[in-house]
Amino acid sequence: MKLFCSRDELVRSLQIATRVLPAKTSIPILNGIVLETRDDQLFCFASDLENGIEVKVPEVTIITPGRVVLGGRTFYDVIRHLPSGRIEMGVEGNSFTIKTASTFFNLNILPAEEYPAVPDGLKKIHLYMEEQTGLRGEEILFSLEAPVFEEAVRQSVYATAPNDSRPFLSSILWEYKPDRLRLVATDINRLVVKDLSVNGNSEDSFLVPVKSLREMAAVFGSYPDEEITFFLINRQLYAVAKGILYYTRLINAQFPRYEQVIPESFDGEARFQRTSLLNSLSRSLLIDKAVKLSFEPDRLTIFAMEPELGQFNEEVSCSYQGESFAIGFNAQFIIDFLKAVDDEEIVFKLSAGMKASVLQVKELTTYTYVLMPLRLNY
């Protein structure tokens, strides 16, 4: 293998690929980055067996094709510490050389034969991207604009429990039909339902790990003008855009019947200015996360109490319809929703007693946040 490439483009590609390198692993070869030439192009690949990323490196001149595995973090550190400009790289004997006009590195090569085989889906997508063939219709899901996908992930991951041993709490349900993708997330105490319009040709549902979705959103969210195409092959989800292919293994578990949790009737409805409510609840956290919300026709009173610290009391203007009553909530849970949206008009549909309430943006029904109340002793 021998090639010339742009240092800056290689740094950007490695910055993406190294995101899935495992922090700890019992399989040392997974600490490696695969460099492979294909059709006069250079690709970086990394995997932790659950997730994988392949990135096409722009501005590369291939002299001799080949494939090599290098220590991922070491290789990335070397490249990012080089000055901008053209780099010459290649295999010489049992080592990998990196040359600039004034700098020379000689890195050890890892045994490529020990690196796990890439999923069949990766090969099928390569063929499809090159020749528009090789995939069944149901394997091609739909496309989403990168900002739309990033927002959907941001507005759902906060309602999960990533470290919980129960799989459905550390994942997000994808439930799609030909014209709609629905993301559903829960941590038992709250539930998010986010609907997106898509142009697909099949329907299915599956669980995607929260960690993987966060990584996907971070990677593709950097390209606001791009459209992400999603594929489902052998129970692995693939996302492709801008020369980047990210895949993740789906979680094999059942998601609870969530529809019955969403209330259909309410005892009151309040409308707030988002920033005002967010600021007030943020102040209440200085005393305690548990707050009592007392609703009256033209105002909300927020009260928090912690015997060892003191009390908090603040009035917030709102438009309220319904009987006056008080209800307890986890303030942080409400704040999570308020930080996830940009619109200023918030609708709080309230249920008395220990029944679930709902937060939404104006009259928008494509994003629903179901919240269970807290039982307070004051």
* Helix 72-80 and helix 7-17, axial crossing angle in degrees, nearest 10: 150
The answer to whether residue 138 scores a pLDDT higher than 90 is no
Chain-centre distance for alpha carbon 294: 35
Strand order in the sheet with 299-306: 310-317, 299-306, 290-296, 325-330
Domain 120-249: CATH architecture, name and number where available: Roll (3.10)
pLDDT value at residue 128: 86
* Beta pairing partners, 171: 209
The answer to whether residue 131 scores a pLDDT higher than 80 is no
Per-residue model confidence as pLDDT tens digits over 282-324: 999 999 999 999 999 889 999 999 999 999 999 999 999 999 9
pLDDT value at residue 279: 98
Per-residue model confidence as pLDDT tens digits over 223-249: 999 999 999 999 999 999 999 999 999
Rg (CA), the chain: 25
pLDDT value at residue 130: 81
pLDDT value at residue 364: 85
| Burial class of residue 8, CB neighbours in 10 A (0-12, 13-18, 19+) | middle
Give the whole-angstrom CA distance, residue 55 versus residue 44. 5
Residues of the chain with CATH 3.10.150.10: 2-114, 120-249, 263-371
The average pLDDT across 187-213 equals 95
CATH superfamily of 2-114: DNA Polymerase III, subunit A, domain 2 (3.10.150.10)
Please state which CATH number belongs to domain 263-371.
3.10.150.10
Give the Cα-Cα-Cα angle 271, 277, 282 (nearest 5 degrees). Answer: 160
Indicate the pTM of the whole model.
Answer: 0.92
Per-residue model confidence as pLDDT tens digits over 142-172: 999 999 999 999 999 999 999 999 999 999 9
Q: Is the separation of the CB atoms in 156 and 175 below 8 Å?
A: no
Mean pLDDT, the chain, whole residue set = 95
Residue 244 in tokens: 């980047």
The answer to whether residue 363 scores a pLDDT higher than 90 is no
Per-residue model confidence as pLDDT tens digits over 101-114: 999 999 999 999 99
Per-residue model confidence as pLDDT tens digits over 333-362: 999 999 999 999 999 999 998 999 999 999
